[in-house]
């Protein structure tokens, strides 16, 4: 382990991680068991490159995000693109957000891509992930890389990969991930980052790329007359969404929001939140406080790279007078919006998202597709007109961006709110109308966060070995193991349980965090009935997972 660490140290160009690693090596050599354990954690494994690219904690070592790992990934990806392109010269566009080292990792990647003979284009400054996804298609690039860890904890960073051409600017799926990973492993085996060719001959994209994204996104929902006088609050969650969203708002004709000042500028430390994710408890507290003071009608929150959006509305019954809508509630509203104007096409969502979208699709005579989690799958649904996943991800403009986009979704929500205002109604009224039309769907989630990811595998194995016969007092009608899915069906490490009363429970490991997640969906005769069913399913699932964990 010490020899592996020394080899890594010899090729590390970063002063901070070199100092960090050198100290650990010195202490381990002197017999410090804590340092030796830390080294094992850093070098016993390697951050795996998969369909989500790379994502992990910053630090020295093969199991951390750092300049060595990113350099190896860039060189491996360049080799993959050259192999894929044949005699043509591949092009790749690189973007980055405001997390620590995002700009450094992006520039390293651009230099390595250029050094490999690719046409490398670096976006002009830190920008939202949807702008990078847009740029891949807009520039006709062979591929794109976004340096971001999205809504992960503050000490994380990541490397998200898109493909152009036949993939149309979508995130990678199998087998591309394994092919790219094989190239990266060959580069890593040489253990010589300094030998990888680099060049400063990459291009800096001009503002026309951002301007094109702004124009296209403003067309999602140009402001109707009801937008006049709208008082609303916005938070960027210490991320990069505010500037781009502001330009789209101005172009589309919406009033500027009241911003959460403490969270509006990019800050990779994320000083006001433990987790920069609008779903997490406490993350939107400052937005609620700002909205109460302003007597606002609406809150909109982006996550740090602005590919997700959260919405909150006044609710006298809620603690503090404000309620954040669930991802499913927003998804069904936006799906309804899309369905009303579509003459044909597909509404799609991940299989863990609300089954209410299928009801909407059937109501309007549209196709429906349930996919594996992630927009790499949702965006590939044939004839897609709208897609969403319950984790606050929405794709309202598939003709422009083939990934979730929290900025275009925010504009669509503002359009819905403004149209309702013209009729003297609110977003809450639209939720009520949707429930009356399509049914009272309610969703919930139970999450178990672990320090040791092997615990998740043990729980899944226990559930497979002895599937529950009931959830609370409701019998389980059938259990589907998606590891055993037939060809043409979504497959993965997922268990789906159907209950006798029509409720549904899906259990799966998180794809981006050390969590096991259970997704709960019920449909009731009324809002009160649905809430009661959901509470009962929630209690039953918690008891089942506690037993499996024990």
314: Cβ contacts below 8 Å, ≥ 6 apart = 291, 296, 297, 321, 322, 323, 428
Confidence at residue 453, expressed as pLDDT on a 0 to 100 scale: 85
HEC string of 465-523 equals HCCCCEECCEEEEEEEEHHHCCCCCCCCCCEEEEECCCCEEEEEECCCCCEEEEEEEEE
Distance of alpha carbon 190 from alpha carbon 72, whole angstroms: 10
Q: What are phi and psi of 489, to 5 degrees?
A: -105, 155
**Residue 24 CA: distances (Å) to CA of 6, 21, 47:** 10, 5, 20
Confidence at residue 487, expressed as pLDDT on a 0 to 100 scale: 63
Side-chain-facing half-sphere of 253: CA atoms under 13 Å: 12
Residues (pLDDT < 70) of the chain are 485-489, 512
Distance of alpha carbon 42 from alpha carbon 25, whole angstroms: 12
Confidence at residue 497, expressed as pLDDT on a 0 to 100 scale: 95
**Nearest Cα residue to 172 out of 71, 75, 54, 58:** 54
Q: Which of 150, 354, 434, 503 is catalytic?
A: 150
Q: Do the beta carbons of residue 176 and residue 163 sit within 8 Å?
A: yes
Distance of alpha carbon 390 from alpha carbon 227, whole angstroms: 27
- State whether residue 246 is helix, strand or coil: helix
Q: Which DSSP helix (H) or strand (E) runs through 298?
A: strand 298-302
280: Cβ contacts below 8 Å, ≥ 6 apart = 273, 274
- State whether residue 368 is helix, strand or coil: strand
**Nearest Cα residue to 108 out of 16, 199, 213:** 199
Q: Which DSSP helix (H) or strand (E) runs through 114?
A: helix 102-115
Q: What predicted TM-score, i.e. pTM, was given to this entire model?
A: 0.93
Any idea where the domains of the chain sit in the sequence?
Answer: 64-206, 212-437, 439-549
List pLDDT tens digits, range 250-288: 999 999 999 999 999 999 999 999 999 999 999 999 999
Q: What are phi and psi of 324, to 5 degrees?
A: -80, 125
Q: Do the beta carbons of residue 450 and residue 259 sit within 8 Å?
A: no
List pLDDT tens digits, range 425-475: 999 999 999 999 999 999 999 998 888 888 999 999 999 999 999 999 999
Tokens of 257: 């929001």
Distance of alpha carbon 113 from alpha carbon 94, whole angstroms: 10
Is 408 noted as a catalytic residue in this protein?
Answer: no
**What are the strands, taking DSSP E only, across 101-154?**
119-122, 143-147
**What are the strands, taking DSSP E only, across 58-209?**
91-96, 119-122, 143-147, 156-163, 170-171, 203-204
Distance of alpha carbon 265 from alpha carbon 279, whole angstroms: 20
DSSP 255: P
Max alpha carbon distance in the chain (Å)? 74
**Same-fold call for 64-206 versus 212-437:** yes
| CATH number assigned to the domain with residue range 64-206, chosen from the 4 options 3.40.120.10, 3.30.565.10, 3.40.630.10, 3.40.50.450 | 3.40.120.10
| CATH number assigned to the domain with residue range 212-437, chosen from the 4 options 3.40.50.10490, 3.40.50.10800, 1.10.1200.10, 3.40.120.10 | 3.40.120.10
Angle at alpha carbon of residue 244, lines to 239 and 245, rounded to 5°: 90
Q: What are phi and psi of 529, to 5 degrees?
A: -65, -45
Distance of alpha carbon 75 from alpha carbon 187, whole angstroms: 7
- State whether residue 249 is helix, strand or coil: helix
Superfamily of domain 439-549: Alpha-D-phosphohexomutase, C-terminal domain (3.30.310.50)
Distance of alpha carbon 432 from alpha carbon 427, whole angstroms: 9
Confidence at residue 50, expressed as pLDDT on a 0 to 100 scale: 87
């Amino acid at each position: 382990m010490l020899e592996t660490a020394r080899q890594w140290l010899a090729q590390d160009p970063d002063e901070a991680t070199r100092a960090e690693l050198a100290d650990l090596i010195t202490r381990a050599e002197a017999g410090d068991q804590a340092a030796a354990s830390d080294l094992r954690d850093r070098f016993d494994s390697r951050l795996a490159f998969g369909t989500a690219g790379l994502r992990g904690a910053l630090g020295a070592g093969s199991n951390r995000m750092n300049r060595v790992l990113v350099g190896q990934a860039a060189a491996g990806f360049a080799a993959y693109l050259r192999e894929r392109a044949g005699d043509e010269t591949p092009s790749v566009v690189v973007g980055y957000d405001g997390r620590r080292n995002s700009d450094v990792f992006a520039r390293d990647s651009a230099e390595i891509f250029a050094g490999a003979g690719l046409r490398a284009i670096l976006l002009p400054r830190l920008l939202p992930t949807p702008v990078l996804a847009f740029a891949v298609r807009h520039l006709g690039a062979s591929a794109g890389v976004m340096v971001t860890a999205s809504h992960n904890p503050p000490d994380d960073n990541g490397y998200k990969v898109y493909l152009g051409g036949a993939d149309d600017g979508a995130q990678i799926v199998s087998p591309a991930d394994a092919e790219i990973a094989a190239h990266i492993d060959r580069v890593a085996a040489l253990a010589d980052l300094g030998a990888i060719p680099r060049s400063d001959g990459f291009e800096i994209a001009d503002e026309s790329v951002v301007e094109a994204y702004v124009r296209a996104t403003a067309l999602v929902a140009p402001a109707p007359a009801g937008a006049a006088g709208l008082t609303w609050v916005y938070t960027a969650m210490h991320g990069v969404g505010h500037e781009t969203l502001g330009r789209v708002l101005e172009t589309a004709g919406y009033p500027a929001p009241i911003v959460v000042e403490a969270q509006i500028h990019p800050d990779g430390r994320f000083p006001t939140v433990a987790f920069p994710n609008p779903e997490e408890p406490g993350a939107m507290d400052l937005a609620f406080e700002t909205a109460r003071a302003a007597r606002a009608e609406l809150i909109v929150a982006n996550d740090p790279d602005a590919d997700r959006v959260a919405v909150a509305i006044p609710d006298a019954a809620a603690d503090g007078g404000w309620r954040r809508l669930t991802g499913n509630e927003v998804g069904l509203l936006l799906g309804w919006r899309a369905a009303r104007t579509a003459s044909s096409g597909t509404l799609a969502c991940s299989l863990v998202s609300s089954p209410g979208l299928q009801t909407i699709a059937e109501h309007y005579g549209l196709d429906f597709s349930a996919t594996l989690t992630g927009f790499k799958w949702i965006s590939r649904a044939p004839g897609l007109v709208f897609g969403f996943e319950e984790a606050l991800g929405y794709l309202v403009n598939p003709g422009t961006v083939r990934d979730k986009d929290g900025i275009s979704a925010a504009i669509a929500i503002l359009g819905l709110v403004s149209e309702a205002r013209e009729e003297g109604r609110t977003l809450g009224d639209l939720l009520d109308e949707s429930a009356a039309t399509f049914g009272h769907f309610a969703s919930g989630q139970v999450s178990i966060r672990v320090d040791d990811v092997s615990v998740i595998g043990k729980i899944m194995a226990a559930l497979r070995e002895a599937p529950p016969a009931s959830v609370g007092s409701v019998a389980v009608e059938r259990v589907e193991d998606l590891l055993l899915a037939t060809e043409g069906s979504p497959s993965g490490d997922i268990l789906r349980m159907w209950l006798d009363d029509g409720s549904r429970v899906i259990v799966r490991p998180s794809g981006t965090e050390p969590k096991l997640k259970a997704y709960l969906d019920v449909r009731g005769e009324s809002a009160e009935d649905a809430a009661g069913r959901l509470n009962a399913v929630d209690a039953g699932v918690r008891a089942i997972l506690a037993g499996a964990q024990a």
